[in-house]
Amino acid sequence: MFVADIQTPALILDLDAMERNQARMTDFFKTTTAKLRPHTKTHRTPALAKIQIATGAQGICCGNLGEAEVMVRAGILDVLVTKEIVQLQELALAAELARDSELMVVVDNAEIASKLSQAAVKSGARVRVLMEVDVRLNRAGVAVGEPAAQLARQLNVMPGLRLEGVMGYEGSMHNLDAAQRERACRESVAKLLDTVARIERAGIPVKIVSVGASSTYRTAATIPGVTEIQPGSYLTGDARYATEWSDFECAISVLTTVVSRPLPNVITTDAGLKKITSDAGLPLVKHEPGLTCAALNEEHCILKRGASARDIQVGEKLELIPFHGGTTINLYERMYGIRSGQVQAVFEISARGK
C-alpha cells in the first residue's frame, strides 16, 4: 500500500525519522550513568515500546494503570506507572500485575499505600513503589524534606511493598527558554536529591532516582545521583517540540484529504477536532509553504492559502503535524508506518483510551 491509498483521516509515522530519533536518544545515554526509561503515554503502542527497549531502554513509563496493563500483557515487564493509583480496583489490579512483572507504582499518601500493601499481601505479590516528591509542579507528590522522609520510613516497613526510590517530575517547561529550563531543572532535581540524602540518613537505601522529560533529558541525565530519565515525546515528536528545539524530528502526522475549496484562499480538509487536537495549538501543514491552519471544527480543518502556496485541488492529500502528539495519537486505533512513500507496518495503538 502507498500513502496515497490510505483512507483518511489517518495517523502516519515516518519510520526513518522515528528510528533516527531513537538512535539519537540511545547514543546520548551511552555517555551517561543514568538510564533511559521512556514514557509511553505519548505513543501508547506496545510495538514502539518494544523498539525502545530493544535499542537500549531499561524499561518504560506509563501514564496510568490501564496503559501499564496493556504493556504488561504485551510482554513488557519493567513498567513504571507515573500517576498515583487510589481506587481499590486499581490497587488490586496493580498487585495482580506485580505477580508476573516488575511493575512499579508511585505513591505519595500513607493511607493509600497501606491499602496497596493490603492488596499486595492478599494477592501474594510484592509491589515495587517509588515515592513521588513534589519538586515543582504542585500537581502530585509529597513535600520535599522531612514530610518525604517520614513517608519513606512508613513505606519501608509496609508488608508487600518494596520501596525502590523516588520520583520527581519537574515538567516540560514549554514556556521557558533554554537557560531558564536548565536552571529550573537543576533546582528541581536538587530538591529531590536533598530529600534522598535525608532518607538515606535514616538508613533507607534509595536505589532509583527517576526524573526528566524530553525537554530536560540532557540536563537531568548528567546530574550526579540521578539514575533514570523519563522522556516521552522525543520518539514521535510534534509541532510544539519542533518549534522550541531541534534535538528530534517530527515523525508523526495526520494524513488528510481536501474535501472543499469554498473560496480561492480557503482549503477545507477532512481532519477535524475528532482526529487532531488543538489543546496546545493548531497543527502545521507539512511540506506545503504558504498553507496555515486557521481553525479546527469537529470534522473539518480550515486552511488559509497564502500568496506563496501552490493551488491545491479537491481530492489531494495533505499532512498535518499535530501541535501536541500525545493527545492526537490517543484519538486513533492504529498508525501507519511509512518508508519511502509506502506502508511498511501498521501499529495498533492498544493503550488508546485506557
pLDDT in tens, 269-298: 999 999 999 999 999 999 999 999 999 999
237 or 245: whose pLDDT is higher?
Answer: 237
pLDDT confidence of residue 172:
80
Say if 150 falls within a structural domain: yes
Q: Contact 160/125 with Cβ under 8 angstroms?
A: yes
Per-residue pLDDT band for 60 (boundaries 50, 70, 90) equals: very high
Residue 228 maps to which CATH number?
A: 3.20.20.10
What is the structure's pLDDT at 199? 97
Confidence check: pLDDT of 27 > 90: yes
What pLDDT score does 59 carry?
Answer: 97
| Helix 65-73 vs helix 88-99: crossing angle, to nearest 10 | 20
In a domain, residue 215? The reply is: yes
Same domain, residue pair 275 and 179 = no
Q: Work out the average pLDDT over 146-155.
A: 97
Residues 65 and 193 grouped into a single domain:
yes
Q: Which three cell numbers stand for residue 295?
A: 481553525
Q: Residue 323, Cβ neighbours under 10 Å: how many? A: 23
Indicate the residue among 213, 234, 255 that finishes a domain.
Answer: 234
Listing DSSP states for 167-206 in one string gives: E------TTS-HHHHHHHHHHHHHHHHHHHHHHHHTT---
Number of domains in the chain: 2
159 and 81 inside one domain? yes
My answer on whether 152 and 182 are in the same domain is yes
- Dihedral class, residue 139 (left if φ above 0, else alpha if ψ from -120 to 50, else beta): alpha
User: How far apart are the two ends of the chain, measured CA to CA in Å?
Assistant: 30
Interval 209-216 mean pLDDT: 94
222 shares a domain with 142: yes
Domain that holds residue 268: 3-10+246-348
207 and 112 part of one domain: yes
314 in a structural domain:
yes
Residue where a domain terminates, one of 234, 269, 285: 234
Give Cβ neighbours of residue 47 (< 8 Å, ≥ 6 apart): 345, 347, 348
Note whether residue 142 is domain-resident.
Answer: yes
Kindly tell me if the per-residue pLDDT of 245 is higher than 80: no
Q: For 28-54, write each residue's pLDDT tens digit.
A: 999 999 999 999 999 999 999 999 999
Share of the chain above pLDDT 90, in %: 94
Across the chain, mean pLDDT equals 96
| Rg of the chain taking only CA atoms, in angstroms | 22
Query: 309 and 289 in contact (C-beta within 8 Å)?
Result: yes
Range 296-301 average pLDDT: 98
Does the pLDDT value for residue 112 go beyond 90? yes
The answer on 259 and 167 residing in a single domain is: no
DSSP H helical ranges for the chain: 15-29, 46-54, 65-73, 88-99, 110-123, 146-155, 178-201, 217-220, 239-244, 325-329
Do residue 26 and residue 157 come from a single domain? yes
How far, in Å, CA of 114 to CA of 111, rounded?
Answer: 5
Residues 181 and 307 in one domain: no
| Mean pLDDT of the 243-257 span | 92
Q: Which of 234, 260, 289 is the last residue of a domain?
A: 234
- Alpha-carbon distances of 257 from 167, 241, 296, 302, rounded to whole Å: 44, 25, 14, 12
Instruction: Please check whether residues 46 and 119 belong to one and the same domain.
Output: yes
Tell whether 284 and 212 lie within a shared domain. Answer: no
| 128, pLDDT greater than 80 | yes
For the domain that residue 341 is a member of, what is the CATH number? 2.40.37.20
Do 261 and 220 lie in one domain? The reply is: no
